[in-house]
């Protein structure tokens, strides 16, 4: 499946929360946001169908 980029802007306090979560998970902010989006859209945290 071809992947597309999504660019979004968030307030600084949201960015800091995402950054803290990413640090705790040992992941990037992009990976954390992707997990959140996939979970919200279809309950799929790993991006697999």
Give tens-digit pLDDT for 14-41: 999 999 999 999 999 999 999 999 999 9
d(CA 28, CA 35): 11
User: Which residues form the domain of 21?
Assistant: 1-49
* Matching residue, tokens 């989006």: 37
Rounded distance between C-alpha atoms, residue 33 and residue 21, angstroms: 10
d(CA 26, CA 43): 21
Q: How far apart are the C-alpha atoms of 49 and 43, rounded to whole Å?
A: 10
- Give the Cβ contact number of residue 23 at 10 Å: 12
Could you give the number of structural domains in the chain? 1
As a whole number, mean pLDDT of residues 37-47 equals: 77
- The token duo for 28 is 């990037």
């Amino acid at each position: 499946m071809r992947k597309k980029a999504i660019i979004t802007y968030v307030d600084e306090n949201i960015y800091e929360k995402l950054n803290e979560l990413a640090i705790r998970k040992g992941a990037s902010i992009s990976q954390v946001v992707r997990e959140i989006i996939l979970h919200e859209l279809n309950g799929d945290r790993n991006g697999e169908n």
